[in-house]
Structure 1
């Protein structure tokens, strides 16, 4: 399926679900540049994915505009990771190798190699199919910012799906 066909398919799918045509976000200004205050090898690293990742035993994501997020302990065994996303065709690879959507083992390896200083106790996930920019701005982003602040992260690794 080409990119154009994919976009048409997505538009039709969401129209049938009762959504108004999607209004693409356009940034009006560049985000503030925030250089690291210390070397990465001394930083506490957090991770956030929009893959709908959760730990076995946690509640899966609801498919329509679920703005919740899940904490995922950074010591979670990869075989305990699960995925729930509105667009199921994004998930077969993640279910075969969770690290492609939630690279928890590579981050642990970077700690072992001394590339990064350490990991936050918890990483975070949300279901990226939230089609209201307002809800992302007012609900998702502040909740994730607060969660990272509580974890004391110096830098966050963002993994979009």
Structure 2
């Protein structure tokens, strides 16, 4: 049974201001705890190439690439140790049949509502509202926090780019975790 708002409801709840996460110290400690050597942060000599949209977003096919370790029931879960594999998730899937596994974030919220790390329902709403033309046939999910930047650059990224081209995507929503 849905809860009713109290009669004294005065509007939106004010935002909670959380302190920043000391990401570098946290990741360094997590990787050391998993038995890796000292984490080497990626430094790129050049910025990524900017590619403007070739058509309005309302006329575009949008893809999703998310690093929250989401997979569909029946697919193999991700492994925490340098797993550079990816899963395809049909964009018409019932999100209640999706699961998440990851070593670098608390999974409680993602297990209650996978949309917090894989915003598929929000993307569908953008299509329904006309803000986005359509979604690609599948979304791509992977395990973030991959230690080997070489394997990401040489294996994973080229494969995902190829798949995005094959899906005729005009834009891709990147969802890092």
TM over 0.5: yes
Q: Which residue of 1 aligns with 2:44?
A: 27
Shift of 1:37: 0.8
Confirm or deny that 1:70 pairs with 2:87: yes
| Aligned counterpart for 1:128 among listed residues 130, 133, 144 | 144
Separation (CA, whole Å) in 1 of partners of 2:174 and 2:26 = 27
The answer on whether the counterparts of 1:64 and 1:129 sit within 8 Å (CA) in structure 2 is no
Q: Which residue of 1 aligns with 2:28?
A: 11
Shift of 1:151: 1.0
Deviations 1:97-149 (A, max 9, x none): 21111011111111111111001000000000211111110111111111111
- SS in structure 2 at match of 1:102: coil
Q: 1:116 to 1:16 in 2, by over 3 A?
A: closer
Given the two structures, how large is their TM-score scaled by the length of structure 2?
A: 0.83
Confirm or deny that 1:36 pairs with 2:53: yes
* Number of equivalences: 159
Q: 1:74 to 1:20 in 2, by over 3 A?
A: same
Divergent runs of 4+, >6 A: none
Confirm or deny that 1:151 pairs with 2:176: no
Confirm or deny that 1:45 pairs with 2:72: no
Gaps of 5+ in 2: 1-18
Q: 1:21 to 1:44 in 2, by over 3 A?
A: same
1:79-118 equivalences under 5 Å are 79-89=96-106, 91-118=107-134
Instruction: Looking at secondary structure, tell me which structure has more helix per residue.
Output: 1
C-alpha RMSD of matched pairs (Å): 1.7
Between structure 1 and structure 2, the one with the greater Rg is: 2
